[in-house]
A and B are shown apart, each in its own frame.
Chain A
Amino acid sequence: MTYWTKALGAALALALAADGAAAQDAGAKSIKIGYAISKTGPNAGGANITQIPNYQLWVKEVNDKGGLMLSSLGKRLPIEVIEYDDRSNSEEAVRAVERLITQDKVDLLFPPWGTGLNLAVGPVFNKYGYPQLAFSAVTDRAPELAKRWPNSFWLLGTSAQYVEALVALLTKMRGEGKINDTIAMISIADGFGIDLSAAARSGFGKAGFKLAYDKSYPIGTQDLSPLIGEAARSGADTFVAFSYPPDTMALTNQSKVAAFAPKVMFLGVGVGFPLYPQNFGANTEGIMSLGGWSTDNVGTAEYRKRHLAMHGRDPDYWASQVGYSSLQMLEQAIERVGKIDREAIIKELQNGTFDTLLGKIKLVDNMPKDALWLIGQWQNGFYTGVAPQRAGVKPVVVPKAAWK
């Protein structure tokens, strides 16, 4: 036993020493990028669809080009990836990120998945001065956080933005006499649902809408038919659900079975997942959610093809394109700076203008402005951006098509 512990200790010490030595001149051979992400646990479903495929795709594409061009060295350096599983646990995520910085000595970090974990690791990214390009976090605290942590970027925006866009759409429809002024809303009793339903409650109220039904349900609810029944009986023309992927699937399925057909059906996370059209086919027609795609953007269409080729499935139609764009921004910022100078890279991210899938992006207060779709709708089998009103916007279709 003692022999083994000693041998193990010695081996470990050797490995560490070798690691340290490698890290010192690794600067000349590769750029180390590390990330901790939820490969297991409740967040894994989202992380595996929206985030990990983007990391893999971008790293492969950069390395196929020979790596990132660092003008200070006059050559391209390939990217080396170090990945940990944070097990959907914030302490674990913080520990892993600290380990990446202090032991693995990574040059750059990718953010974890979701609002909660991005908030959890924010102080660590900030303490060590690593840029944090969060693209799967929606929080109303984003402007405040960007001030407190100037190294953090909140690409998906705030819940208020989404609600504003939704309210503007609904107000317009009501003005045209297409829907009544009653809304039924349900939300999951977790970060995303609580944040968005709170913002929506005040937004709907201000716009003069009545909430005929407004309830939250716990995570893991396996039968949503009682809520659907109540929403149907409420007489609302608009049904809004701030739901998570399993509930979004169940809501669609059970609404179809119950023949519950509100004129506007807005559901939460999952409507943009490739799984959604795969399961529901023509029944997705008219269903609305967060995010959206441009019908005429060659860049995103190309991206979708490359994503499909590498992973065998489509990207998430909400955050995936934003995520890939954030990696493009990081790439351009690094190449403009010409070396791994994190402070300069952060400065460039704050002030520069970047060419991305989504077009030219310039951040204002560390958040994109008018660069992405907030509300999308399935139209002719394509998840089309319908709000805010910007170039390429398509009119929203009401009432939602009947279930087939």
Chain B
Amino acid sequence: MLIGALLSGLTLGGMYALIALGLTLQYGVARIMNLSYGETLVAAAFAAYWLFVGADVDPLIGLIAVVPGAMVASWVVYRILLVPLVRRSTTRDALEVDSILATFGLLFALQGLMLVQFGGAYYSYSFLSVPVRILGSVVAANRLLALVFALAIGLGLYLLLTRTRIGTAVRAVAVDPVAARLVAIDVGRVAALAFALGGGLVAAGGVLTSMFLTFNANIGVVFTMKALIVVIMGGVGNMMGCLVAGLILGLTETFVATWVDPGLTLAATYGIFLIVLLVRPQGLFGGAAR
């Protein structure tokens, strides 16, 4: 039973981390608090559904098309919609407020497009919904896959950010965009890159979660909220923090559901969130971005 709960918790936590990785880049580095984040995720889920049901394309192969597509789309959104905001904002706080307003609008535009195309009905499909046995406990292959991707992407990005030159530039922008300019970092380009990369990550999250979650055009805000909690808890802009926070939340929910009461999972999630905010307001791994 312990192993079962542990596995469920880890896969759920992996999913939370996966859907939050993109936001931590967009919010932490590009300094865009993207409220249309969840809608981007749902759009990717629809793309995966459409490819799978309509064209018989395996969602895992679909990733190859959807992720770069989302990166390009995010880059365009950043260049056209967000760069003017970045230019005119004098402080980081001003940019945050402006970006919230702009992406709030984007949220409705995206949601409207999906409603026109798919209506408000529920969608889901079955893919890789097969049991995998680990230490005598059973877990669904598609959920396990989401965990594996979350770990791989999270660790990969962590290494990229800490061990490479471009990664250092990205971190420099996250810490201090003004000082970064002094050491000849093209802040605009790095921020655009981070935003686009975040868009690609959220699309990957959307494709992977669409394999086991039922979604519709209106469900995006649920993911934005969850991702925001994970990002703030882990420390904005921190990949490791994002992974750890996601896993903590997943494990907490599962343990509470198994041994206390499933009705208290949300309370437990927000309880932990509150404690972290009280004890470490900068997030678990907050401080300098890594």
Contacts and interface: CB of A to CB of B under 8 A. Distances in A.
Interface in B108-140: 111, 115, 119-126, 129-131, 138-140
A245 B213 CA distance: 11
Nearest to B255: A226
* Secondary structure of the B contact surface, majority rule: mixed
A257 B265 contact: no
Contacts of A270: 122
A40 B108 CA distance: 11
Interface stretch (A115-123, A129-137, A211-219): A211-219
Nearest to A279: B126
Interface stretch (A175-183, A247-255, A291-299, A375-383): A247-255
Nearest to A260: B138
A220 B222 contact: yes
Contact of A250 (B15, B213, B217): B213
Nearest to A42: B218
Given A49-B121, A257-B131, A259-B131, A225 B111 contact: no
A402 interface: no
**Interface size class of chain B, counting residues whose CB lies under 8 Å from the partner chain:** 35 or more
Interface string A51-82: 00000000000000000000000000000000
A44 interface: yes
B19 to A, nearest CB: 10
Given A40-B115, A217-B265, A259-B131, A226 B121 contact: no
B122 A256 contact: no
A256 B142 CA distance: 13
B129 A257 contact: yes
A193 B268 CA distance: 21
B262 A273 contact: no
A250 B253 CA distance: 16
A230 B120 contact: no
Contacts of A279: 124-126
A128 B41 CA distance: 44
Contacts, number: 116
A343 B160 CA distance: 73
Interface residues of A, number: 41
Contacts of B140: 253-254, 257
A45 B194 CA distance: 34
A395 B155 CA distance: 56
Interface string B46-66: 000000000000000000000
B49 to A, nearest CB: 11
Contacts of A222: 12, 15, 213
B258 A229 contact: yes
A229 B125 CA distance: 23
B183 interface: no
A253 B126 contact: yes
Interface string B252-271: 01100110011101100000
B5 interface: yes
B262 A215 contact: yes
Contacts of A39: 115, 120
- Which of A41, A249, A257, A270 has the most chain B CB within a 10 Å cutoff? A257
A138 B160 CA distance: 55
Given A39-B115, A47-B120, A220-B222, A215 B5 contact: no
A218 B226 CA distance: 14
A113 B15 CA distance: 32
Given A218-B265, A230-B258, A246-B213, A257 B138 contact: yes
A146 interface: no
A249 B214 contact: yes
A226 B254 contact: yes
A250 B140 CA distance: 11
Contact of B214 (A223, A229, A250, A257): A250
A17 interface: no
Contact of A256 (B129, B139, B222): B129
Nearest to A281: B126
A209 interface: no
Nearest to B215: A246
A249 B139 CA distance: 16
Contacts of B262: 186, 215-218, 221, 226-227
A226 B8 contact: yes
Nearest to A403: B131
A260 B258 CA distance: 16
A275 interface: yes
B87 to A, nearest CB: 26
Interface string A231-271: 00100000000000110011001101111000000000010
A39 B218 CA distance: 9
Given A45-B218, A250-B212, A259-B138, A215 B126 contact: no
B121 to A, nearest CB: 4
A45 B121 contact: yes
A280 interface: yes
A149 to B, nearest CB: 28
Contact of B130 (A44, A249, A257): A257
28 contacts: A40-B218, A44-B120, A44-B218, A45-B218, A47-B120, A215-B261, A215-B262, A215-B263, A217-B265, A223-B8, A223-B12, A227-B257, A229-B4, A229-B5, A229-B258, A230-B258, A246-B124, A246-B213, A249-B124, A250-B212, A253-B140, A256-B129, A257-B130, A257-B139, A257-B140, A273-B122, A275-B123, A275-B124
**What are the 6 A-B residue pairs with the smallest beta carbon separation, nearest first?**
A44-B120, A226-B257, A246-B214, A48-B120, A217-B262, A48-B121
Interface of A: 38-42, 44-45, 47-49, 186, 189, 215-218, 220-223, 225-227, 229-230, 233, 245-246, 249-250, 253-254, 256-259, 270, 273, 275, 279-280
Interface of B: 1, 4-5, 8, 11-12, 15, 111, 115, 119-126, 129-131, 138-140, 143, 212-218, 222, 250, 253-254, 257-258, 261-263, 265-266
Given A40-B115, A44-B218, 4 more contacts: A39-B120, A48-B119, A48-B120, A216-B263
